[in-house]
Structure 1
Amino acid sequence: MSKTPTESAFKMIQARGLTFRVLDQGEGIPLLLLHGFPDSLDVWQAMTPTLLAAGFRVIAYDQRGYGETDAPVDSASYRIDEIVADAPAILDALGIQQPVCLLGHDWGSAIAWALALQHPERVQALVAVSVGHPKSYGRAGLKQKLGKGLYVLWFQLRSLCEWYLLRAGGLRRWLGKTEHGDRALQQMSRPGRLTAALNWYRENLRKAVFGEWGQVHCPTLGVWSSEDAYLTEEQMLDSGNFVTSAWHYQRIEGCGHWIQLEQPEQLAQLAVRWFREYASQPTDTALPSEAG
């Protein structure tokens, strides 16, 4: 089995009236990766070899509006329930009916929490990176809402926000002149793509803050990094109050928001250990004893 993604691992899949770009490679327990803003499935590239070497079937996809996946024009297509419903539809298209291991970052973490809430039969263990349980995020204090999260309100300003981020260079200054920033800027510069990504924030702000969210019943690992500029530690720590199964919190020191880019091996190993402890094979095939 190749320990790096190959071209044949990428495919275009039809689901729920949209075409999704999907990575599907490896064997063993399915591990679904969900990216956030302003990324694509490529944000997992540095982690994927470790996950494959550890014996997982790694699945990731460009979420609606991102990467090479379709971007519906209507704003309502980006309501959280619509986004969440994509995951089981894609798993069905891949013939995966067993519960998966689930790892999400940023908006992908929010969708992962919601997927575990709405479709508990599809998730056997969760690793939530950066963003905590929706109820925990919603009741986070002013430090989160007006300190680190004020940009969410700025994103509500249609057209003006798009102009600033693209025409006035706001997105470039925000992401910096890095390979990650270059790739995100290129993708967001395509017609309609930045608006599609911002619609995630515009359609879901009220529900994220004021919505009714239940408890998650699968084993959950929460991961937060000390230099995260957008999210407080408290909103992740508080998430344990909304998990009825095993819960553990892991803080990563000296790392910014994109942990999978800055510390990919550490995050991958944390995920591997968590999933090995709490996920089970559908067959008698045993996981390897060591990752890498």
Structure 2
Amino acid sequence: MVEHRMVDVNGVRLHIAEQGDGPLVVLLHGFPESWHSWHRQFGPLAEAGFRVVAPDQRGYGRSDRPDAVEAYTILHLVGDVVGLIRALGEEKAYVVGHDWGAPVAWHTALLRPDLVRGVAGLSVPPPFRGTQPPLAAMEKMFDGRFYWNYFNRPGVADAEFAENPRTTLRKFFYWASGDSPDAGTGKQPLVDPERGWLATMPDPQALPEWFGEEDLDALTESFAKGFTGALNWYRNLDRNWELTAPWHGAVVSTPALYIYGDRDVVPAFPGTPELIERLPALMPDLRREPLKLAGCGHWTQQERPDEVNAALIDFLRGC
């Protein structure tokens, strides 16, 4: 059974869900999600002999939401994972992340390999720091219409998404799923700065089979206090680029696994397909070729739980 409690980490209180005994596996969710994104992984991983813990990361769900934008840098987020491992009484952990949780997982392995037994990323590939700040690069490439730049406008996306959180989340999950008509087309996520993003997203008459009304209920509840904390992660993209300068050119050396869907919008971002092709040569301990799931959109572990669980268990046991 999944149990819930609060843990004090680095001056913030994090809500965590946990199940099982054995080596610690930390599961990190993305945007706009919560610990619930991993609810199909808890039972299988616990039954396979692991202690599974999924936090609501800072800015999300029942966890604290610092007011300052600069309290959401990649160093804060990695610090939360490091602090959580210690607070749980462990010396090492496997770290698995999806969407924004993937960069946190990859950077935890990059910055603190001494604490990481193995790292897995879903959707977002390992971080290889570019030559220019990402927000500035996307601003130039897409004339300010890339969704990162839209999110960077203080208060704008916050207000749009908070007007009706349930509708926001329903549209997001359908739009980025493998069920969406735009999935797999390579179309970039651009936003009309005047109309906002949701206006261009279809509102499905019925939810996909893998994402029911109870899932939407749980997700909606986690955003009852708004979206600002979650959006502040994006507002640190250029700051993260500055802060990670000492690791420019560094690679993740711990055992690694990468999984993504062939209908996911993220692996189609500029330069990402080429990066994925090169991962086996770039990653010294990538345990298998990147696992591409046919017909799968962005919500990897929710859309394809059986395949993801099997790949994760095989990876974790082999580290």
TM-score range, shorter chain: 0.7 to 0.9
CA–CA separation in structure 1 for the residues paired with 2:46 and 2:303: 19
Q: What is the SS of the residue equivalent to 1:121? A: helix
In the alignment, does 2:235 pair up with 1:202?
yes
Q: What is the SS of the residue equivalent to 1:45? A: helix
- Could you tell me how far 1:260 is from its partner in structure 2? 1.2
- Could you tell me how far 1:171 is from its partner in structure 2? 4.9
| Aligned twin of 2:191 | none
CA–CA separation in structure 1 for the residues paired with 2:279 and 2:114: 21
CA–CA separation in structure 2 for the residues paired with 1:80 and 1:166: 25
| Aligned twin of 1:31 | 25
Pair 1:188–1:137, CA change in 2 (3 A): farther
- Could you tell me how far 1:238 is from its partner in structure 2? 3.6
- Could you tell me how far 1:34 is from its partner in structure 2? 0.8
Counterpart of 2:222, as a letter, is Q
Q: What is the SS of the residue equivalent to 2:266? A: coil
In the alignment, does 2:265 pair up with 1:245?
no
CA–CA separation in structure 1 for the residues paired with 2:314 and 2:131: 29
- Could you tell me how far 1:75 is from its partner in structure 2? 0.8
Deviation sequence 1:223-265 (CA, Å, 0-9, x none): 1101112332614344444422234211001011011111111
Deviation sequence 1:149-177 (CA, Å, 0-9, x none): 92112111111222222337655432346
TM-score, with length taken from structure 2 = 0.75
In the alignment, does 2:129 pair up with 1:153?
no
Q: What is the SS of the residue equivalent to 2:154? A: coil
Deviation sequence 1:82-117 (CA, Å, 0-9, x none): 1110111111111101x2112110010000010001
Among candidates 81, 85, 88, match of residue 91 of structure 1: 85
Among candidates 252, 263, 269, match of residue 310 of structure 2: 269
Are the equivalent residues in 2 in contact too, given 1:131–1:236 (CA < 8 A)?
A: no
| Aligned twin of 2:5 | 11
Using the TM superposition, name which of 209-218 and 43-52 deviates more: 209-218
CA–CA separation in structure 1 for the residues paired with 2:130 and 2:280: 12
CA–CA separation in structure 1 for the residues paired with 2:217 and 2:153: 24
| Aligned twin of 1:187 | 222
Q: Which runs of 4+ in 1 moved over 4 A?
A: 136-142, 168-172, 208-211
In the alignment, does 2:202 pair up with 1:175?
no
- Could you tell me how far 1:48 is from its partner in structure 2? 1.2
CA–CA separation in structure 2 for the residues paired with 1:210 and 1:76: 12
Are the equivalent residues in 1 in contact too, given 2:128–2:251 (CA < 8 A)?
A: no
TM-score, with length taken from structure 1 = 0.82
Counterpart of 1:154, as a letter, is Y
CA–CA separation in structure 1 for the residues paired with 2:131 and 2:54: 27
Equivalent residues in 2 for 1:24-103, closer than 5 Å: 24-97=18-91, 99-103=92-96
Are the equivalent residues in 2 in contact too, given 1:48–1:58 (CA < 8 A)?
A: yes
| Aligned twin of 1:118 | 111
CA–CA separation in structure 2 for the residues paired with 1:158 and 1:95: 38
CA RMSD in angstroms comes to 2.7
Counterpart of 1:124, as a letter, is R
Q: What is the SS of the residue equivalent to 2:128? A: helix
